[in-house]
Amino acid sequence: MYGCDVAVVGAGIVGAACASECARAGLSVIVFDRGPVGGGTTAAAMGHVVVMDDSEAQFALTSYSRRLWRDLAAELPAEVHYEACGTLWVAADEEEMAEARRKEEFCRVRGLRAEILDEAALREAEPNLRPGLRGGLLIPDDAVLYPPSAAMFFLGRAPQNKIEFRAGSEVRALNPDGGVILGDGTRISAGLTVNAAGCGSPDLTAGLPVKKRKGHLVVTHRYPGHIRHQIVELGYLKSAHSVSSDSVAFNVQPRANGQMLIGSSRQYGAEHPGVEFGILRRMLERAAMYLPDLGRLVAIRSWAGFRPATPDKLPFIGPSAGNQKIWLATGHEGLGITSSLATGRLLADMVLNRPSEIPVAPYSPARSLLEGKAHG
């Protein structure tokens, strides 16, 4: 039985964006997820729409996607809590300040707004940061949002009869001829299948170099105005680049309701899904180095989640190397929220043979096979 044009496995924000873009182009889509919409990495994510520049390809994807978010902002329903609060990159010392200047120039040359803040301007922008920080870089067009509601909005945004969502349906395998085989053995055929299962994607596409990278977050009571931007330390670049050891970085977010999210941590090889106190403490310790009043604020919940990471820090978007009927949209690590819209758009462009606004080759699933372990 022919089920649909496109079967999407995974109703996280990336799968939802892919489904939405395909359906809006007229294709019939069924989305499968073992849980609810946005219940995996999307549920655990911070929800930071941020332009990153580790590589030109990462910059191209994140800046394109941020533009799509900005274009969509007026349409986003209230529950998405989209706030263009900007990202404030904080430089603790001269070395980090040099990095701030490099990023500022990088953005400016490419036509994005960026503003260097000296020590006084930083104090004015975020009075609760500790004195003595060197300065910072404000990226005013970055934003924050509540990811599960965004994923839900994507699914609902397509024409009604074009997307069907099957919650609670576990996909056991991808049919090599297109379509999926469900946990109960049911086969549903499709023109092509998109593996957007995030951390579960290697279970469905053997050999896919996507690894789980664990992270922790803490949410506080409501403290409206305690911080005004998503604040990230530039030291983050030093710690986040390590692909072997556990690391923490100062990364806090003001929620629209006045709550604050406090991150972040990165762990490879951690399989236990629960909160780990050792790393949680290190993370909060790091955050308190930047926000000295943090210890007096009240935390109401902490949680841990897994990010789907690739060796070269770029996602897989496009047909898989071995099978043109099985496509991939996975491996976004910590940038899935940011890159979801661009991923959906690029995937639909390729499916429909439309021209894309940015080159798709850097995200081709074939690349890791070509380049082997060069990035690993």
List of residues contacting other proteins (CB under 8 A):
35-39, 43, 79, 146, 148-149, 152, 167-168, 218-221, 257, 262, 275, 277, 280-281, 284-285, 288, 294-303
Residue 204 or 294: the one with the smaller Cβ distance to other proteins is 294
What is the spatial distance between Cα 165 and Cα 184, in angstroms, rounded to a whole number? 17
Residue 58 or 149: the one with the smaller Cβ distance to other proteins is 149
335: nearest Cα among 5, 1, 17, 6: 17
Q: Give min distance, CB of 164 to other proteins, in A.
A: 16
Q: Give min distance, CB of 305 to other proteins, in A.
A: 11
50: nearest Cα among 333, 283, 293: 333
**For residue 315, what are its two tokens?**
């996602």
Q: Which amino acid is at 186?
A: T
Tokens 């989305």, residue located: 31
What is the spatial distance between Cα 130 and Cα 84, in angstroms, rounded to a whole number? 24
Residue 176 or 292: the one with the smaller Cβ distance to other proteins is 292
What is the spatial distance between Cα 251 and Cα 50, in angstroms, rounded to a whole number? 12
Residue 168 or 176: the one with the smaller Cβ distance to other proteins is 168
What is the spatial distance between Cα 97 and Cα 121, in angstroms, rounded to a whole number? 14
Q: Give min distance, CB of 110 to other proteins, in A.
A: 36
**For residue 198, what are its two tokens?**
């995030």
Q: Give min distance, CB of 38 to other proteins, in A.
A: 6
Q: Give min distance, CB of 51 to other proteins, in A.
A: 27
Q: Give min distance, CB of 263 to other proteins, in A.
A: 13
Q: Give min distance, CB of 40 to other proteins, in A.
A: 11
What is the spatial distance between Cα 59 and Cα 99, in angstroms, rounded to a whole number? 16
Q: How many CB atoms lie within 10 A of CB 100?
A: 21
Residue 275 or 366: the one with the smaller Cβ distance to other proteins is 275
Q: Give min distance, CB of 272 to other proteins, in A.
A: 12
Q: How many CB atoms lie within 10 A of CB 298?
A: 8
Residue 104 or 126: the one with the smaller Cβ distance to other proteins is 126
What is the spatial distance between Cα 34 and Cα 202, in angstroms, rounded to a whole number? 16
- Dihedrals phi, psi of 81, to nearest 5 degrees: 55, 40
Q: Give min distance, CB of 30 to other proteins, in A.
A: 18
Residue 120 or 298: the one with the smaller Cβ distance to other proteins is 298
Residue 138 or 287: the one with the smaller Cβ distance to other proteins is 287
Residue 220 or 310: the one with the smaller Cβ distance to other proteins is 220
User: Would you say 147 and 13 are in contact if contact means Cβ atoms under 8 Å apart?
Assistant: yes
Residue by residue, DSSP assigns 223-275 as -TTS--SEEEETTHHHHHT-SSS-EEEEEEEE-TTSEEEEEEEEEES----S-
Q: Give min distance, CB of 146 to other proteins, in A.
A: 8
Q: How many CB atoms lie within 10 A of CB 73?
A: 15
What is the spatial distance between Cα 242 and Cα 246, in angstroms, rounded to a whole number? 8
Residue 147 or 209: the one with the smaller Cβ distance to other proteins is 147
Widest pairwise Cα distance in the chain: 66
